[in-house]
């Protein structure tokens, strides 16, 4: 008997059954850190910037000296010097004085605002006319406006994006502590499978799930290791699973998980650890199997049908990997208007691929038709949406929540 869970129950089991693997952080250079998962909180230990900066080319002033000035009645200030890029200002403004300052240059002591060049006039006699008043703080960034010592800039568990790399550079963090990449074994099983490079005979099909699951894992930022196509027999599967669990942090077996005379995957995983669930009330994807070893590694049995394997990897395997990495998973979801009716009546959550396009009234989702084994139907898909188990389908015009296929 399948111990069938709903997709939400399956995610909750994943959340409570797996914990971050206990591994020391690895230090990588800033230029290798993109996409890696931060192992520790990043906290600033200095002010950024470490001095008051101008955001325009202009004149640093004491704001009070400009109050009430205008085109007709400029404030006339004594030019006390010029600040150069990359150097300290080296001067202090007294009342009635100003200093030329470039964009990004230091605003001298005594000054509390900058007026832009276009609103000033150089009289050529050592004085500058300010044509419009400025409020204190205008056109400048104060010391520590970006970060102050002790500010937490990035939290542990975050996957580093380009703007985070920029923030780390600003902090001078050129060696970044990251979570070691997970290694994940992939096994394909099924007596009908031949490697993609082989021409299938009648009754045979090419192994799609091996390359597909490895690509999904690569996109998820982990290191896939493919163990090849293994005969759907308990002893062969056990040997390969054991090797995979020794060498990797998780092993994904696709095929061999349906309930029939060939449910070797269930028996193999039962012997190697604890089964957490067998079967999810979803279509496609019902015969999904999850187990955990004594050391906290994950064993996943994916359906043999490629589209089912794709949805289940996106929904569940990514959630498992995030738990093992100590990372919070961000689902990227968009709301879109379904442009065609989709029916459902299985008593199971139905997942349907979709192409997103910008319509005249916002984002539209075009459902992809096709049977669950047909992977080429999903080439070009942007994501998928779910029709709940208690629903007989969605009419055209329904606003659906589309999970988009991207790395996270």
| Residues 74-113, interacting with a copy of itself (CB under 8 A) | 83-89, 102-106
By CB under 8 A, residue 404 contacts a copy of itself = yes
In the chain, helix, strand, coil percent, each to 5? 20, 35, 45
From 172, 185, 161, 192, select the one nearest 317 (Cα to Cα): 185
Residue 282 pairs in a beta bridge with: 349
Q: Which of 60, 69, 74, 164 binds a copy of itself (CB under 8 A)?
A: 164
13 or 51, CB closer to a copy of itself? Answer: 51
Q: How far is the CB of 219 from a copy of itself (least distance, A)?
A: 6
A 10 A CB-CB count for 148 gives 12
By CB under 8 A, residue 173 contacts a copy of itself = yes
From 196, 186, 255, select the one nearest 227 (Cα to Cα): 186
Pairing of the two strands 298-302 and 250-254: parallel
Question: In the range 11-50, which residues lie near a copy of itself by CB under 8 A?
Answer: 30-31, 34-35, 44, 46, 48-50
> How far is it, in rounded angstroms, from Cα 384 to Cα 351?
6
Q: How far is the CB of 295 from a copy of itself (least distance, A)?
A: 28
| Options 3-11, 12-20, 185-193, 239-247: segment touching a copy of itself (CB under 8 A) | 185-193
C-alpha 165: how far from its chain's center?
14
Question: In the range 133-162, which residues lie near a copy of itself by CB under 8 A?
Answer: 141, 145-147, 151, 153-154, 158, 161-162
Question: In the range 347-366, which residues lie near a copy of itself by CB under 8 A?
Answer: 358, 362-363
| Options 4-12, 124-132, 241-249, 369-377: segment touching a copy of itself (CB under 8 A) | 369-377
| Options 245-253, 264-272, 327-335, 342-350: segment touching a copy of itself (CB under 8 A) | 327-335
Strands (DSSP E) along 166-296, which ranges?
175-178, 183-189, 193-194, 205-206, 223-230, 250-254, 274-278, 282-283, 289-292
> How far is it, in rounded angstroms, from Cα 229 to Cα 239?
13
Residue 63 pairs in a beta bridge with: none
273 or 306, CB closer to a copy of itself? Answer: 306
Handedness of CA 266, 292, 332, 164 (dihedral sign): negative
By CB under 8 A, residue 201 contacts a copy of itself = yes
What residues contact 163, with CB distance under 8 A and at least 6 apart? none
255 or 273, CB closer to a copy of itself? Answer: 255
Question: In the range 263-302, which residues lie near a copy of itself by CB under 8 A?
Answer: none
By CB under 8 A, residue 260 contacts a copy of itself = yes
Q: How far is the CB of 404 from a copy of itself (least distance, A)?
A: 7
> How far is it, in rounded angstroms, from Cα 254 to Cα 43?
42
By CB under 8 A, residue 207 contacts a copy of itself = yes
Q: Which of 169, 246, 267, 395 binds a copy of itself (CB under 8 A)?
A: 169
By CB under 8 A, residue 205 contacts a copy of itself = yes
By CB under 8 A, residue 252 contacts a copy of itself = no
74 or 287, CB closer to a copy of itself? Answer: 287
User: Is residue 192 within 8 Å of residue 202, measured between CB atoms?
Assistant: no
> How far is it, in rounded angstroms, from Cα 405 to Cα 393?
22
From 335, 334, 302, select the one nearest 318 (Cα to Cα): 302
Q: What is the DSSP letter of 65?
A: G
Q: How far is the CB of 164 from a copy of itself (least distance, A)?
A: 5
Question: In the range 380-399, which residues lie near a copy of itself by CB under 8 A?
Answer: 380-381
């Amino acid at each position: 008997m399948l111990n069938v869970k709903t997709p939400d129950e399956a995610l909750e089991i994943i959340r409570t059954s797996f914990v971050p693997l206990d591994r020391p952080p690895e230090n990588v250079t800033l230029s290798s850190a993109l996409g890696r998962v931060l192992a520790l909180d990043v906290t600033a230990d200095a002010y950024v910037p470490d001095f008051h900066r101008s955001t325009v080319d202009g004149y640093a002033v004491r704001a009070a000296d400009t109050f009430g000035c205008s085109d007709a009645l400029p404030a006339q200030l004594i030019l006390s010097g010029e600040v150069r890029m990359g150097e300290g200002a080296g001067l202090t403004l007294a009342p009635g004085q100003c200093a030329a300052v470039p964009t990004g240059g230091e605003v001298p002591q005594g000054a509390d605002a900058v007026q832009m060049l276009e609103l000033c006039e150089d009289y050529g006699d050592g004085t500058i006319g300010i044509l419009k008043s400025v409020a204190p703080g205008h056109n400048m960034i104060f010391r520590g406006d970006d970060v102050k010592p002790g500010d937490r800039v990035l939290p542990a568990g975050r996957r580093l994006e380009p703007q985070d790399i920029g923030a780390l550079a600003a902090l001078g963090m050129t060696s970044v502590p990251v979570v070691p990449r997970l290694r994940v074994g992939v096994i394909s099983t099924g007596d009908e499978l031949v490697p993609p490079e082989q021409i299938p005979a009648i009754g045979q099909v090419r192994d799609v799930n091996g390359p597909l699951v490895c690509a999904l894992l690569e996109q998820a930022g982990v290191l896939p290791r493919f163990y090849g196509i293994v005969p759907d027999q308990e002893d062969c599967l056990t040997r390969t699973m054991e090797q995979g669990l020794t060498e990797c942090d998780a092993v994904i077996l696709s095929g061999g998980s349906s309930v029939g005379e060939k449910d070797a995957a269930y028996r193999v995983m039962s012997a190697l650890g604890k089964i957490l669930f067998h079967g999810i009330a979803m279509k496609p994807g019902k015969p999904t199997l999850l187990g955990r070893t004594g050391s906290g590694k994950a064993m996943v049995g994916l359906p043999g049908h490629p589209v089912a394997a794709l949805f289940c990897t996106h929904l569940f395997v990514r959630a498992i990997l995030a738990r093992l990495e100590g990372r919070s998973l961000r689902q990227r979801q968009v709301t879109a208007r379904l442009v065609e009716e989709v029916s459902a009546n299985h008593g199971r959550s139905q997942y349907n691929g979709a192409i997103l396009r910008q319509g005249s009234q916002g984002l539209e989702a075009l459902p992809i038709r096709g049977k669950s084994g047909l992977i080429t139907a999903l080439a070009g898909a942007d994501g998928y949406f779910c029709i709940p188990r208690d629903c007989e389908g969605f009419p055209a015009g329904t606003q659906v929540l589309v999970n988009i296929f991207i790395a996270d």
